[in-house]
Structure 1
């Protein structure tokens, strides 16, 4: 007589009982999750890749103009943009880290590496002191881009596509 199926059934019942007991203990101390709770482990690939790029940037002539301190506190908007970039391009960032850790390079790709793009975003947003003066809200779920002109100009008075010949007055727009 084979006892393996009986043992497997008993083991699954024990595991189910342990889960129910844990849920009861958590609810007794006031933990009542809504939805489906899950644990998210942050990926270390983008951080390691960013450290590699910052180490190499520190050896360049323009290192004094860049924000290369890894312990520097980023503006919350900058951190949010970088985390969204990591979420969207996490797979490519991990693949780049694997390629760099193997010592090989891919000469067939003409695209700017995602790690370089991430570092450019970090450098561009880390120096914007104006972010401390304005509220920055970004909807990463938006599907369309809205163009907002700085000013509206009446170009009906501009003749000849704006080409002005010598001695002619420049028309106002």
Structure 2
């Protein structure tokens, strides 16, 4: 199966509704972990009142809009950016955003999941979550039983949501992790 098909499969699984999280508020989000672009995106999010439709870690019966803290959205801000640019082709109501606002908002949404689940610093990490790519301490993940062995390889997670997502589509997330590692290696080589 090609990497693109696996990525599409992971997208479908995610959009089908991976898991419901616990209610999230700004006080539960580690604002210090957000990048400058994400903080500016948060301002766009608040200015356009996106919370009126979107859940952020809470199950809501009054809307069908996706939970923006879903682990899948933590993979890449590009998915969010493309969705916002083509919102008229979705159930989402029209929203007037500049290209810069779209870029900033996509960074905010992509970083929400990791900010809700503060993990170890990249310097302390000895692994990365295959779902949201957050830095992980394997020792802590072992203590918390947040790991899965798949095809003789152990995968470690920073939260239960990511572990559950991985269990639903291990091959897809395994491929995503490999693609991410290749991209990072290519970016680091001269």
Q: State the TM-score, normalized to the length of structure 1.
A: 0.24
The structure with the larger Rg is 1
TM-score (norm 2): 0.23
